[in-house]
Amino acid sequence: MASVNALVITGYGTNCHEESAYALRTAGAENADIVYFSDLAAGHVRMDDYNFLLCPGGFLDGDDLGAAQAAALRWRWSTSKDGTPVLDQLKTFFDNGGLILGICNGFQLLCKLGLLPAVGEKYFERQVSLSYNDSGRFEDRWVTLKTNPASPCVFTKDIEYMEVPIRHGEGKIIPMDDATLETIVNNNLHAVQYVDPETREPTQEYPYNPNGSPLGIAGLTDPTGRILGLMPHPEAYNHKTNHPSWTRGTNPDFPLGLAMLEAGVNHLKTQ
């Protein structure tokens, strides 16, 4: 059984790295190192020592230039002291079977790097972006999610519904064009959707869909299923007492958000 050695990237405004690393360890990862991107870029740490990459939430660079835009440029142009571009390390990491999870700001980063949705397996070519919520304000609430059973995503395996918190101001998915959205749907790359908690069907209705994302899309995967990005925070629901209704016993019998991280860890351990 393979060991899971996780890398959690922080720095430049990221603020969810501690709970992300904790959630990974709770999910069964043998190791979860919190590493500043600057140390990765300097060559003090190398990605080939890991098999699970988590890009957590936060406010990268204060969301200047647009959410995660500056960070995407940093990933594209940083080169370590030995002359190895960080992006080459990332490509090798993925080609060697590594898993990548991007949460909130991390999802925005993966989209702007072109790792998601990678329609037609065109990696590192931007096909979608994320823009301001239709409400025009920062949304901080719990949402109900439905996973797509036809999706290849390894992180959503055996999960049907979840309740998890969201906290973002730029979460609306904007495809490059209508054809891109159609291809995403036809290939089941829409891994997670916001749903009405009563009907449990994907919705555009606010506040169940907190940002107005088309088709209620809350998260995307790539054609291999080894990359997932989503706006909600599964790592923030790692114990039953995190749920606002736990003392009243009114929360649905859904799995913890931790189940997504556990699915990723179990995938690596069975390879």
SS3 61: helix
Q: Is residue 233 among the annotated active site residues?
A: yes
Q: Please, are residues 243 and 237 in contact by the beta-carbon 8 Å criterion? A: yes
Which of 17, 233, 243, 267 is flagged as catalytic? 233
Q: What angle do CA 176, 179, 185 make, to 5 degrees?
A: 100
Look at residue 240 in the predicted model and tell me its pLDDT: 94
C-alpha–C-alpha distance, residues 200 and 161, integer Å: 8
CATH number of 5-269: 3.40.50.880
Q: Is residue 55 among the annotated active site residues?
A: no
Look at residue 188 in the predicted model and tell me its pLDDT: 98
Q: Is residue 205 among the annotated active site residues?
A: no
Q: What is the pLDDT of residues 53-95, one digit of tens each?
A: 999 998 888 777 777 889 999 999 998 777 889 999 999 999 9
Chain mean pLDDT for the chain: 95
Q: What is the pLDDT of residues 94-148, one digit of tens each?
A: 999 999 999 999 999 999 999 999 999 999 999 999 999 999 999 999 999 999 9
240-255 average pLDDT score: 90
Which of 16, 55, 104, 111 is flagged as catalytic? 104
Which of 235, 243, 262, 267 is flagged as catalytic? 235
pLDDT at 183 over 90: yes
Alpha-carbon dihedral angle through residues 261, 267, 268, 271, given to the nearest 10 degrees:
180
Look at residue 54 in the predicted model and tell me its pLDDT: 98
